Amino acid sequence: MAVYSSQPRLARYVNLLLELLIVAAIVTGLTSWAIGDRWSGWLVLAHAVIGLSMLLLAPAKMRGSVAAGFRRGRATRWVSAVFGVLVLVTVTLGVLHATGLWFGVGPWTALWTHSLFGFLLIPLFVWHAVARPVRPRAADVDRRAVLQTGVVAGAAAALYATQELLTAVTGPAGGERRGTGSREIGSHDPARMPAVIWFNDRRPDVTDAMSWSLSVGGTPITIESLWARARPVDATLDCTGGWWSEQAWDAVALSDLLTDVQGRSVRVASRTGYDRYFGLGDLGKLHLAVGYGGHPLRPSHGAPVRLIVPGRRGPWWVKWVTSVAPSDRPTWLQPPLPLT
């Protein structure tokens, strides 16, 4: 492994910084995505600056260890190349999403594809970190390194500010952007609101809403009785695919239907098997919606009844709900992506 420690200082520095940036990008990306609205504005800002820093370092990386790696000609150089290209494509998709220059094709929105590639990057990153370890020397972490890092971060922040200013002025995307980075579509116009379903899920055939079977805390509840109790609740569905839409949902608070819950969480399950577990502290936010703007939900939007969770991202908004039940499962014991 002498080769690595004999790398020039600048190449070592670039490699180390890139590695830290990728970890930071994955962490900020995943958390901004998982937590909902509260801190996501700051996380999205950090995520953007991290991504742009990686772009700025790309030329130095190409001149340094990429060129050297190709000269060495190991068979696995192609895996490294795929990794590098995937990083560049992922960051580029992030920029396309943020600027609205390209929204994507159909369900393959720029942001969704960005996240998918982000997930694919994780194993490649781990492989790369093990197979091509960066061997920093104690002397590398000096004033010069701190200064260089400051310059890279400052340049990336300036680039981001310019990018945001240009998009605000020229507005290629249209649609107001939230702190989460998502853009507005079809608010108070459900016909224009997109419908999103995971690849492995399928919309159930609902022929008769009135015979839908829904049980809340073990008690059967009819759609009719939900309509009778429903009140308008303004809430914003913010899909991780990069769009948001506000509707006046006709909805009933779960806290009105479910009292005295015993257990560690509440499981909300779809007829399709898709489910999410919520902490008991979240119960006040959860609502069962049967319509929007006084009209019943469309089949693709979860008819006859779906969950709405103000302040949480789209994946939590379970559609075609058949059961709400207390559970002993802690909420952390669920996949970040609902796999049905």
Q: List contacts with ligand MTE (CB under 6 A).
A: 193-198, 201, 237, 239, 270, 272, 274, 300-302, 314-315, 317-320
Interactions with Mo ion, residue window 214-253 (CB under 5 A): 239-240
Among Mo ion, ligand MTE, none, the one that 112 touches (CB under a kind-dependent 5 to 8 A) is: none
Query: In the numeric block, which tokens belong to residue 21?
Result: 């940036």
The DSSP symbol for 263 reads: S
Contact region for Mo ion (CB under 5 A) — 74-82, 142-150, 193-201, 228-236? 193-201
Q: Give backbone dihedrals phi and psi of 149, rounded to 5 degrees, phi first.
A: -65, -40
Instruction: Please give the biggest Cα pair distance in the chain.
Output: 74
Binds 292, which of ligand MTE, Mo ion, none (CB < 5 to 8 A, cut-off by type)? none
CB of 239 to Mo ion, least distance (A): 3
Q: Which does 270 bind (CB under 5 to 8 A by kind): Mo ion, ligand MTE, none?
A: ligand MTE
Query: In the Cβ-directed half-sphere of 169, how many Cα atoms lie within 13 Å?
Result: 6
Residue 334's closest CA among 307, 315, 320?
A: 315
Q: In the complex, what is the shortest distance from the CB of residue 240 to Mo ion, in angstroms, rounded to a whole number?
A: 5
The token pair that represents 45 in the structure block: 């800002």
Contacts of 218 (CB under 8 A, 6+ apart): 325
Taking the least distance from each CB to ligand MTE, the nearer of 287 and 319 is 319
Tokens of 168: 């605000």
Nearest approach, Cβ of residue 313 and Mo ion (Å): 7
Q: Which residue of 18, 48, 156, 196 would you call a contact of Mo ion, by CB under 5 A?
A: 196
**What tokens does 130 get?**
């093990």
Nearest CA to 157 among 55, 243, 11, 62?
A: 55
d(CA 319, CA 317): 6
Distance CA 293, CA 10 (A): 60
Q: How far is the CB of 197 from Mo ion (least distance, A)?
A: 9
Looking at beta carbons only, is 80 or 272 nearer to ligand MTE? 272
Burial 68-87 (b: 16+ CB within 10 A, else e): ebeeeeeeeeeebeebbebb
Q: Hey, which residues between 275 and 334 contact Mo ion (CB under 5 A)?
A: 314
Report, in Å, the least distance between residue 242 CB and ligand MTE. 10
| Closest to Mo ion by CB, 33 or 212 | 33
Could you give the string, one character per residue 151-180, with x where binding to Mo ion holds by CB under 5 A and - elsewhere? ------------------------------
For Mo ion, the binding residues (CB under 5 A) are 196, 239-240, 314
